[in-house]
Amino acid sequence: MREYLKFYINGRWVDPKTPKTLDVINPATEGVAGRISMGSAADVDAAAKAARAAFATYSQTTVDERVALLERIIAEYKKRYADMAAAITEEMGAPVALSQNAQAAMGVGHLQTALGVLKQFHFSEPRGSTLIVKEPIGVCGFITPWNWPVNQIACKVAPALAVGCTMILKPSEIAPFSAQIWTEILDAAGVPAGVFNLVNGDGPTVGAAISSHPEVDMVSFTGSTRAGIEVARNAAPTVKRVHQELGGKSPNIILPDADLKKAVTAGVRGVMTNSGQSCNAPTRMLVPKAKMDEAIAIAKAAAEATTVGAPDSGAMLGPVISATQWDKIQTLIQQGIKEGATVVAGGPGKPQGLEKGYYVKPTVLAKVTNEMTVGREEIFGPVLVMIGYDTVDQAVEIANDTPYGLAAYVSGTDTEQVRKVASRLRAGQVNLNSAAVDMMAPFGGYKQSGNGREWGDHAFGEFLETKAVLGYEPKPA
């Protein structure tokens, strides 16, 4: 059993100000996998002061010095890669292959991307006699989720380190093991004392303390829209920058000319990956009504071919993160049925033979309308809803009829039509015909899916202030 009872503050592993622990549950077994200490406002205060003190020197480091630091972190990460993947499997039940090939891979991917951007980034630009300078914003507070744990840590920490910021991280208390490994990696790489600090704890205590602390210049939060509102509310009195990556109910428009089998199968797979626990999952599949019966048959086959089992069993899907999440998913499936949706595959209850662990059946609900609860609320589980449309204009209207705007998907064979539909969708990232992941593509949402962007060079801007130095180039005598 893992025991991570110390916090990382000012370059040292320290005891919490007030001892309090929390059991971490392995969702695949429902057993206790470890314990962590739960922090307080006093722990956050110590971390914030350490980060503020470190900012004075770290913000003045050269690009070459920060390049060298990122290179050392990458080298240490690669040494601990297997440990990181194992931690993710244990804390959130991700299948071994997913942890190794995707979850842990995103950590090193963001580090390498930040390194590449840093080597080419221009922190100043002359405009006539004025110099426009980009400077690190200061102390950053990071509050990260459990669903892609190291991905969300890395896509915040890597660019912040690259531009010269210092920081405090509060990972999810539900899945904190990967953050511990991450912190050990940064310590081994020689990150200067106070530049990176780790305080475990819950949102109402540690998260709120980070969001409201006067020494924290910006807070970056990834999680539910409900929690994001609280972060912004807590941050408002100190007028700090607030960056949010929140919920989604992403539409997946399958155009009339699309390869139906390919598009529907890919859409089902996109929802089921990571047990449906991805904020950008294509959870609303929009299909021409004339092709709905055929699409339902394809979706049913794809869902029923999706295996569910223990993380080390070779199954495609593991459990969802917790009993609370399992209950929420079951309630929403039942609500969908009550409101008139048809269960095409899966449905309520646990898969046969998997009574222990928070396993959910890969579920497809058809005959859904955009007014139903399951058509509007983020389920955050392996549940796809299928919605019919008569015209492409109607499909676009349905797609945009949501408070969210994180991602959208379009499939079709007419490239110009696919692009035209994409241009009408109110979402921060639109994927055409199952395009591959692009580590340089900005990630973030419209509307209640948040503000700001992560990933690639766009992430750098979130951690920079703009200074105009007038008269930098004196006029000729």
Active site residues: 245, 279
412 by Cβ neighbours in 10 Å (0-12 / 13-18 / 19+) ranks as: buried
Task: Report the C-alpha gap between 462 and 238 in whole angstroms.
Answer: 18
Task: Report the C-alpha gap between 169 and 111 in whole angstroms.
Answer: 16
String of b and e for 75-110 (b: at least 16 CB within 10 Å)? Answer: ebbeebbebbbbbbbbbbbbbbbbbbebbbbbbbbb
CA triple 79-453-405, angle to 5 deg: 120
415 by Cβ neighbours in 10 Å (0-12 / 13-18 / 19+) ranks as: exposed
DSSP type of residue 203 = I
What lies within 8 Å, CB to CB, of 103 at 6+ separation is 85, 88, 94, 148, 149, 150, 151
The secondary structure of 91-110 as a DSSP string is HH---HHHIIIIIHHHHHHH
String of b and e for 53-67 (b: at least 16 CB within 10 Å)? Answer: bbbeebbeeeeeebb
The secondary structure of 129-143 as a DSSP string is TEEEEEEE--EEEEE
Task: Report the C-alpha gap between 194 and 58 in whole angstroms.
Answer: 9
C-alpha torsion 3→9→10→11, nearest 10: 20
Q: Which two tokens stand for residue 173?
A: 């208390």
| 394-400, long-range: CB < 8 A, 24+ apart | 395/253, 395/255, 395/286, 395/421, 396/253, 396/421, 396/424, 396/425, 398/251, 398/284, 398/286, 398/370, 399/251, 399/253, 399/284, 399/286, 399/425, 400/251, 400/424, 400/425, 400/426
Task: Report the C-alpha gap between 415 and 46 in whole angstroms.
Answer: 55
Rg (CA), the chain: 23
Q: Residue 417, Cβ neighbours under 10 Å: how many?
A: 15
Pairing of strands 31-37, 139-143: unpaired
Q: Residue 129, Cβ neighbours under 10 Å: how many?
A: 12
Q: Which two tokens stand for residue 202?
A: 């819950």
